[in-house]
Amino acid sequence: MSELDEVWSKMLAEASERARLAERHDVADYLALKASNDLIRTTSVNWLFETLNQHTASANRKRVAISIERTEPHHFAYRGANIVGTSVTFRYGVRCLSVEAGWTRTPADGFMRGGMLAFARFRHFGLPKAGMDAALYQAERSPVWRQMRDEAVGAVIHSDDLLRHVMLLVAE
């Protein structure tokens, strides 16, 4: 968790406690929902990057030299909102896979549209059609990452989908 996330979590917890003491249960309930959603977001973004790292480590064990650079906090724009999160760049020779993921953190950042909890963008240097946008949605049982095409919600993203991005990076 970054320092900003820690400070923000502490501020939300304090605001929630003040709301409870003032018997503002509507505000306290909203802040509890926000905290719950932020935990889902953090866990889901971590899964995305940890899965990519596992696939990259597997490729590296086969004598492929993929370097990894992580930037946090990272800011990027999506549909007029400022998304705050993490950027990870995977490099193999001249090839590059950039993945950025996050969500709006403060009211000044804007809001997540269409019920999405978080957003991720995959970009392959020199292969624009190989890129992918993804959105995190709360499903019945657990949150799911879904592919996005022209803002239309697509298929659920699984570990094998992330493996395909790593395999494209190291393809001969």
Bridge-based pairing of strands 132-138 and 152-156 is: unpaired
DSSP 8-state secondary structure symbol assigned to residue 127:
-
Question: Which pLDDT belongs to residue 106?
Answer: 83
Q: What's the confidence (pLDDT) of residue 95?
A: 92
What tens digit of pLDDT does each residue of 27-62 get? 777 777 777 888 899 999 999 999 999 999 999 888
Strand positions, DSSP E, 37-80: 67-78
This prediction's pTM:
0.83
Residue 82 has pLDDT above 90, yes or no: yes
**Main-chain phi, psi angles of 148, to 5 degrees:** -125, 130
Taking only the tens place, the pLDDT of each residue in 85-131 is 999 999 999 999 999 999 998 889 998 888 899 999 999 999 999 99
Q: Round to whole Å and give the CA distance between 53 and 33.
A: 30
Average pLDDT, the chain: 88
Please write the tens of the pLDDT for every residue from 70-80: 999 999 999 99
Q: How far apart are CA 91 and CA 66, in angstroms?
A: 5
Distance (Å, rounded) from C-alpha 70 to C-alpha 114? 28
Angle, helices 159-170/25-61, rounded to nearest 10 degrees: 40
Q: What are phi and psi of 89, to 5 degrees?
A: -115, 125
pLDDT-derived band of residue 5, with 50, 70 and 90 as boundaries?
Answer: low
Report which of residues 101 and 10 the model is more confident about: 101
Distance CA 64, CA 7 (A): 39
